[in-house]
Amino acid sequence: MELFRLTAHELAELLRKREVSSYELTRSVLTRIGEVEPQIQAFISVTGELALEMAQQADKLLSKGEAPSPLTGIPVAIKDNMCTRGVLTTCASKILGNFVPPYDATTVANLRKAGAVFVGKTNMDEFAMGSSTENSGIKPTFNPWDLTRIPGGSSGGSAAAVAADMTIVATGSDTGGSIRQPAACCGVVGLKPTYGLVSRYGLVAFASSLDQIGPITKDVADAALLLNVLAGHDPMDSTSANVNCPDYTQYLGQEIKGMRVGLPREFFGEGLDAEIESCVRAAVDQLHSLGAEIVEVSLPHSPYAVGTYYLCATAEASSNLARYDGVKYGLRVEADNIIDMFSRTRSAGFGTEVKRRIMLGTYALSAGYYDAYYLKALKVRTLIKRDFEQAFEKCDVIVGPTTPTPAFRLGEKTANPLEMYLSDIFTISVNLAGICGISIPCGITQSALPVGLQIIAPAFEEGRLFTVANAYEQATSWHRQRSQYLKV
């Protein structure tokens, strides 16, 4: 039995029955990383010794029947923008190339309390700014389905690691689609929770009003298990919502008969790949056959979402990244005076895309342009949020494609940032509205590339996502498909 290929809920049962040990499972995953990582490059750091120590601790709890959660003893990979005490946390940037946090992010602390095993920190677009993981300041990550293609971004390392069975589950962060888009590109499940459901304390900020941590997993049940651990109110995060967090696994296995599924006409227009549309419409037909009622809805301000996002997000990035100045931590390039030191440090430490977004945001916030750009973007953001509120008066969930195209080739869009930005055209509006969305596998193209179906629900209605996604998953086999491309 190849333990690394199993899901967290399958392994939790084996661990509970003591049919396998966490140490055996972790060794299996670390061996898999050793075999596959040179091809995929999903990890910035692999924490093998730490993982085996945590596995032994988990086995002690399991042997006493004291496992604190179903994730006890389960290997997890953590996106490298989440602080991990005593472990290098780089955000895939040279400017944080030597940063070892003295504390854990709340989500990381929650995983420790749950008894999870940390196998490593995953690669990403630098400071989570990108849609392909080509903007990593460390190295690119390759898609396990086709090593000539991107895994998506910015959580490309986490998605590729899950798809290549180099971890059982992983965490990602989603500012404009950075969990859902790579999940779609790599044929796995990715959930962006409602803004405020999961603490952002210890998540290195990109755009604070948009960032949200969530699970990347092999199936929907694992996403529910992981969200159970990640979600919850945190007084350390002023934007954390003080809401009741149910056991999300209770929404699995429920019927969707009578549920209203909204199909937004704006998601099926120019620019959508024909094979993607075909797979998504087939998925909608499957939901209908399971008893869901399909209704047409409209999100009229969707065409403005990308422009709105790249004003709001870059403005916040300009402010958040001002702290990287060579004074307190991270890279420092010496100079004769402090102004030159700031300039040289930031010039050497930040990559091209990060510099581009800082400059865009600084311009949007500058005197004379604030009202014309940033303030107007905030107003359009409100209109986008209202679009969803009105649509959800007619339906329980909204479905559509996660991405406009399958995973594209490495280097194909790096020369044209605007074309790259459009990769997130269907995911960005969910972040702007602060609601929740999940991407699940729903097909494979003729080029043997996975296709993602996005399901969207109102704020704090993750239960609806799990009900619909699990019902579809149980009626199909797309989530069990794995790449035949890998050499191992």
Instruction: State pLDDT tens for residues 376-386.
Output: 999 999 999 99
pLDDT at 172: 98
CB 412 within 8 A of CB 281: no
% of residues, the chain, pLDDT over 70: 99
Residue 290 reports pLDDT greater than 80: yes
pLDDT tens digit string along 98-154? 999 999 999 999 999 999 999 999 999 999 999 999 999 999 999 999 999 999 999
Burial category of 273 from C-beta neighbours within 10 Å (exposed 0-12, middle 13-18, buried 19 and up): middle
pLDDT surpasses 90 at 416: no
Nearest to 202 by CA among 297, 124, 113, 105: 105
For residue 269, the model assigns a pLDDT of 87
- DSSP-derived pairing of the beta strands 436-444 and 293-297: unpaired
Crossing angle of helices 8-16/220-230, nearest 10°? 70
Q: How far apart are CA 187 and CA 452, in angstroms?
A: 7
Cβ neighbours for 455, distance < 8 A, ≥ 6 positions apart: 397, 398, 399, 437, 438, 439, 440, 465, 468, 469
pLDDT at res. 1 = 73
Strands 169-173 and 75-79: parallel
Interval 202-208 mean pLDDT = 97
In the numeric block, which tokens belong to residue 390?
């009105």
Q: Which two tokens stand for residue 152?
A: 């998506």
Give the C-alpha separation, 155 to 412, whole Å: 19
pLDDT band at 364 (very low <50, low <70, confident <90, very high): very high
Residue where the block lists tokens 């929770």:
193
Cα of 143 vs its chain's centroid, Å? 15
Give just the sign of the alpha carbon dihedral 359, 363, 366, 372.
Answer: negative
Contact indicator for 410, 444 with CB cutoff of 8 Å: no
- For residue 171, the surrounding DSSP H or E stretch is strand 169-173
- 90: its two tokens: 């780089």
Q: Report pLDDT for 202.
A: 98
pTM greater than 0.95 (yes/no) = yes
Active site residues: 79, 154, 178
So what's the pLDDT on residue 344? 96
- Please give the average per-residue pLDDT across 223-228, as a whole number: 98
Mean pLDDT of 270-278: 96
Encode pLDDT of 157-178 as tens digits.
Answer: 999 999 999 999 999 999 999 9
Please check the confidence at residue 195 and state whether its pLDDT lies above 60.
yes
pLDDT at position 487: 58
Dump pLDDT digits (tens) for 229-273: 999 999 999 999 999 999 999 999 999 999 999 999 999 988 999
Q: What is the pLDDT of residue 414?
A: 87
**Residue ranges of domains in the chain:** 3-255+461-480, 303-379
Distance of CA 185 to the CA centre of its chain: 12
416 compared with 467, residue with greater pLDDT? 467
3-state secondary structure 462-477: HHHHHHHHHHHHHHCC
Q: Is the pLDDT of residue 488 over 60?
A: no
Tokens of 377: 């973007």
- Residue recorded with tokens 């060794």: 27
Strand pairing category for 43-46 and 117-122: antiparallel
What's the average model confidence in pLDDT over 327-346? Answer: 95
Check residue 419 and give its pLDDT.
Answer: 86
> What is the structure's pLDDT at 483?
82
CATH class of 3-255+461-480: alpha beta
